[in-house]
């Protein structure tokens, strides 16, 4: 799946401005599916419009700049549905945290422990946010997807909580780390 597909998915739910699409795909509920940067949304929308998969109209606003609102066309709905039949490919997982963990033996133990505790707090926060999101959604498919996300984060959190002492033990004792500086 790509940025064009995520734009079609969002518009499948209803009309939206480019800003709303960007917000949903980079920080909102669609950010969990495909990585879509700020700079990729507007070119994707332009290509979709050229291809006749979306259309737009300008809406004037009192005392504010006009906004461009996008709508999915029937051809766009068909293209989106067809894209769901394509090979999904592998999930992409990148983690600055795992890079940090990989080099824990180079770092002082107190820093490693601090980062691990920060990571646990972030995972707890992510689980809390997803549970809040789950309460807002009534469709069974949305609740299923959100439950899956909660489960994935919970498993990672449980592993980290149970095994963080192992990574801390690999790190340098504070006295040695200070001497190395």
| Residues 75-124 pLDDT 10s | 999 999 999 999 888 887 788 999 999 999 999 999 999 999 999 999 99
Distance set, CA 86 to CA 1, 31, 45 (Å): 8, 20, 21
Band (178; pLDDT cuts 50, 70, 90): low
Provide the CB-side half-sphere exposure for 177 (13 A, CA).
14
Q: Where are the alpha helices (DSSP H) in 14-73?
A: 18-26, 38-50
pLDDT band at 151 (very low <50, low <70, confident <90, very high): very high
pLDDT at 9 over 90: yes
pLDDT average, residue stretch 7-15: 94
Predicted local confidence at residue 10, as pLDDT: 94
What confidence score (pLDDT) does residue 92 get? 79
| Mean pLDDT score of the chain | 90
Distance CA 165, CA 112 (A): 10
Instruction: Please report the DSSP string for 127-157 in residue order.
Output: HHHHHHHHHH--SHHHHHHHHHHHHHHHHHH
Range name among 2-11, 27-36, 136-145, 162-171 with the lowest pLDDT average: 27-36
Average pLDDT for 159-175: 92
Residue written as tokens 């509920």?
29
H runs (alpha helix) in 29-139: 38-50, 74-83, 96-102, 109-136
Q: pLDDT value at position 175? A: 62
Cβ neighbour number for residue 70 with a 10 Å cutoff: 21
Whole-angstrom distance, CA of residue 55 vs CA of residue 98: 42
State the pLDDT at residue 55: 97
Tokens 């340098």 belong to 172
- For the cut 60, the answer to whether the pLDDT of residue 152 exceeds it is yes
pLDDT of amino acid 102: 95
Confidence of residue 34 (pLDDT cuts 50, 70, 90): confident
Fold designation for 3-83: Arc Repressor Mutant, subunit A (1.10.10)
Q: What is the model's pLDDT at position 58?
A: 92
Q: Distance between CA 46 and CA 72 in Å, rounded?
A: 13
Reduced to 3 states (helix: H, G, I; strand: E, B; else coil), residue 89 is coil
In angstroms, the CA 58 to CA 70 distance is 9
**Residue 53 in this model has a pLDDT that exceeds 70:** yes
């Amino acid at each position: 799946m790509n940025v064009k597909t995520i734009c079609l998915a969002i518009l499948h739910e209803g009309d939206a401005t480019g800003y709303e699409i960007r917000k949903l795909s980079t920080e909102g509920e669609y950010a969990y599916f495909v990585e879509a940067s700020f700079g990729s949304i507007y070119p994707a929308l332009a290509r979709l419009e050229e291809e006749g998969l979306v259309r737009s109209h300008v809406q004037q606003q009192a005392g504010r700049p006009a906004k461009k609102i996008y709508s999915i066309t029937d051809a766009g709905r068909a293209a989106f549905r067809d894209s769901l039949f394509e090979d999904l490919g592998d999930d992409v997982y990148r983690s600055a945290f795992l890079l940090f963990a990989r080099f824990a033996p180079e770092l002082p133990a107190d820093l490693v422990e601090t980062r691990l505790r920060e990571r646990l707090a972030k995972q707890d926060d992510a689980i809390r946010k997803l549970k809040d999101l789950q309460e807002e959604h009534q469709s069974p498919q949305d609740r299923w997807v959100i439950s899956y996300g909660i489960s994935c984060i919970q498993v990672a959190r449980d592993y980290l909580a149970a095994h963080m002492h192992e990574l801390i033990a690999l790190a340098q004792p504070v006295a040695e780390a200070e001497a190395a500086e």
